[in-house]
């Protein structure tokens, strides 16, 4: 990247010894001359991608010399068509990429004349129609990328003749019909992606004859039926995404990465899954699985990610080694197993919106490399374990909101130096907000509303960026004006610590003057400073102040603990 701009000087096109024209990733613009290749007799490679060239570049290039190999002109606003003359290019052309170039119209049948092509990238354009059957002429083609180009109609059987094809990407189109059974002829295929189309019917049995398959993505189609047992024999398959279809039935084994979210799978999670000894990823969210999470999942020693979100699971038995566990939005009840200390690869742990009870397991302190914990919206009780909280030094996300936790917030929260999100709202926590929290320099979101906290809100550190909202609905919090709480020392002097601070910006009706925010009273009285004190009684004290509109006001602070 040199940040070159402007148009190309015509002298470049007279450099007869030039072999490679590499000007990619700049700000060049303009229209290339139609005879651009007349003086470039030895040109082999053209790299003009990621610029602002326009016009009939492809028509100009189609007249280039016989030694041309690479044509990379994608990511330019060409806004034209792929000319039929593209088929007149030398058979020496090996790579053609015109992605994201504003091209429209049909893919010309003459594309099949480029018999030495090994890479063809036509993605992110506005083609119409279907893939021409002449595609079968590209016998040496190894990579075909036709994603997001508005293709319609069925998959052409001509694709079945591309026996050198290693990757086929046809995602984000409107391709309909079934996957041709002749796909078993694609013996070199390692990656297949036809996601986000309108494919129907069942998967052809011949697909699982492709023993070299490493990744298959057929998600977001209308495919249905059971999964063939032969699928489990693909020992090189490391990723299989069949999510958002209509599959049903049993799950084959010996698969590494498995995505089956948003299908119609029902019943219990198959205990045969542990036979998938190399499985590293399970995504079965948004299905209709019920029952418990089988104990045998603990045998998946390589498992890094488990997602069973939004099913009908009811029991939580024993899970071993996951980098990311997401079991949210189920009906899991009972306690969190103490054996989580054995989860040596665990990084994130999400079991929100369930029916978990008991206390937080102290054994979590052994998982010092945890990055995220979300146990909100459960029925957890007890106190926050001091040693556990203090040991999670790498934790970035902690949400224990909407539970029944009690006791104080331990001062060891100051040891969670990586924390960015900390939510303890809607519990029964009491005591002070520890001053050690000022050490949490990375904290961006903090919420302790709807608890029973008291004392002064610590100043400095991340609290400098907080408003009153994280502290709403507590009993005796005090702090800076922006928290809508009077300073703690003032309350101690005026009411001997007996008054409660309404730090929520409540609104008071003042006769004809409408509703006035409580924070305005705070500012008008300089935080109920004693210099504005005009009287004290058995029920509280009265302070004077001048509101923003100039009105003189007298504000009474009631003692609610009489």
User: What is the CATH class of 332-487?
Assistant: alpha beta
- CA–CA distances in Å: residue 407 to residues 352, 383, 430: 21, 5, 5
Residues 27-74: tens digit of each pLDDT: 999 888 777 777 788 888 999 999 999 877 777 777 666 678 898 999
Closest Cα partner for 410 from 390, 393, 439? 390
Residues 329-344: tens digit of each pLDDT: 445 556 666 655 555 6
> Does residue 388 carry a pLDDT above 90?
no
The answer to whether the CB of 142 falls within 8 A of the CB of 167 is yes
Q: Which stretch of 101-110, 415-424, 487-496 has the lowest confidence by average pLDDT?
A: 487-496
519-558: which CATH topology?
Answer: Phosphorylase Kinase; domain 1 (3.30.200)
Binding-site residue ranges: 556
Token look-up 């007349």 returns 38
Binding-site residue ranges for ATP: 556
How many whole angstroms separate alpha carbon 233 and alpha carbon 52? Answer: 48
DSSP structure class, residue 461: G
Question: How do beta strands 552-558 and 540-546 pair?
Answer: antiparallel
Domain definitions of the chain by residue range = 332-487, 519-558
Number of separate helices (H) and strands (E) present in the chain: 4, 44
- CA–CA distances in Å: residue 266 to residues 172, 289, 291: 28, 5, 10
Q: What is the pLDDT of residue 419?
A: 92
Q: What is the pLDDT of residue 190?
A: 94
The contacts of residue 42 (CB under 8 Å, 6+ apart) are: 16, 17, 18, 19, 65, 67
Residue range 110-123: mean pLDDT, rounded? 91
Q: What is the pLDDT of residue 64?
A: 67
Residues 283-321: tens digit of each pLDDT: 544 444 445 455 445 455 445 455 555 444 444 433 333
Say whether 352 sits in a helix, a strand or coil.
coil
> Does residue 559 carry a pLDDT above 90?
no
Residues 204-262: tens digit of each pLDDT: 988 888 989 888 899 889 998 887 877 777 778 777 788 788 877 666 654 545 555 55
Q: Do domains 332-487 and 519-558 have the same CATH topology?
A: no
Say whether 82 sits in a helix, a strand or coil.
coil
How many whole angstroms separate alpha carbon 126 and alpha carbon 196? Answer: 16
Closest Cα partner for 293 from 327, 254, 250? 327
The whole-chain average pLDDT of the chain stands at 76
Token readout for 172 is: 């984000």
More confident position, 441 or 328:
441
């Amino acid at each position: 990247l040199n940040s070159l701009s402007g148009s190309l000087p015509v002298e470049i096109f007279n450099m007869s010894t030039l072999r490679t024209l590499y000007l990619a990733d700049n700000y060049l613009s303009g229209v290339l001359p139609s005879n651009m290749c007349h003086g470039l007799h030895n040109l082999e490679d053209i790299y003009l991608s990621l610029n602002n060239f326009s016009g009939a570049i492809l028509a100009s290039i189609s007249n280039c010399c016989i030694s041309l190999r690479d044509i990379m002109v994608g990511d330019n606003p060409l806004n034209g068509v792929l000319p039929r003359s593209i088929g007149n290019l030398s058979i020496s052309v090996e790579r053609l990429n015109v992605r994201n170039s504003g091209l429209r119209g049909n893919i010309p049948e003459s594309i099949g004349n480029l018999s030495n092509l090994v890479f063809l990238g036509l993605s992110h354009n506005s083609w119409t129609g279907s893939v021409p059957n002449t595609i079968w002429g590209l016998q040496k083609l190894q990579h075909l990328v036709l994603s997001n180009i508005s293709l319609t109609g069925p998959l052409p059987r001509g694709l079945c003749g591309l026996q050198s094809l290693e990757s086929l990407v046809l995602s984000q189109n409107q391709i309909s019909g079934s996957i041709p059974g002749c796909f078993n002829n694609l013996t070199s295929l390692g990656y297949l992606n036809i996601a986000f189309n309108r494919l129907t019917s069942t998967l052809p049995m011949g697909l699982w004859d492709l023993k070299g398959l490493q990744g298959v993505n057929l998600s977001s189609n209308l495919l249905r039926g059971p999964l063939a047992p032969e699928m489990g024999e693909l020992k090189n398959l490391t990723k299989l995404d069949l999510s958002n279809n209509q599959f049903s039935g049993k799950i084959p084994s010996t698969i590494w990465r498995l995505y089956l979210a948003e299908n119609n799978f029902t019943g219990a999670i198959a205990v045969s899954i542990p036979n998938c000894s190399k499985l590293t990823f399970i995504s079965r969210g948004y299905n209709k699985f019920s029952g418990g999470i089988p104990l045998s999942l603990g045998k998946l020693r390589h498992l890094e990610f488990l997602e069973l979100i939004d099913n009908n699971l009811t029991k939580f038995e024993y899970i071993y080694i996951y980098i990311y566990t997401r079991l949210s939005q189920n009906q899991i009840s009972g306690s969190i197993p103490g054996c989580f200390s054995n989860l040596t690869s665990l990084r994130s742990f999400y079991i929100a919106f369930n029916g978990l009870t008991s206390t937080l397991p102290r054994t979590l302190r052994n998982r010092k490399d945890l990055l995220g914990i979300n146990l909100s919206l459960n029925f957890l009780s007890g106190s926050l374990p001091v040693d556990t909280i203090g040991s999670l030094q790498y934790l970035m996300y902690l949400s224990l909101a909407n539970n029944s936790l009690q006791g104080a917030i331990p001062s060891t929260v100051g040891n969670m130096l990586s924390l960015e999100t900390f939510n303890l709202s809607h519990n029964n926590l009491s005591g002070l907000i520890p001053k050690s929290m000022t050490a949490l320099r990375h904290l961006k979101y903090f919420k302790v509303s709807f608890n029973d906290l008291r004392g002064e809100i610590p100043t400095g550190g991340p609290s400098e960026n907080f408003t009153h909202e994280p502290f709403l609905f507590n009993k005796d919090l005090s702090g800076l004006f922006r928290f809508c709480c009077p300073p703690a020392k003032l309350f101690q002097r005026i009411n001997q610590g007996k008054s409660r601070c309404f730090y929520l910006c409540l609104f008071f009706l003042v006769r004809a003057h409408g509703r006035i925010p409580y924070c305005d009273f705070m500012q008008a009285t300089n935080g109920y400073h004693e210099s504005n004190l005009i009287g004290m009684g058995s029920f509280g004290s009265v302070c004077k102040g001048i509101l923003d509109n100039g009105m003189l006001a007298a504000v009474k602070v009631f003692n609610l603990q009489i």
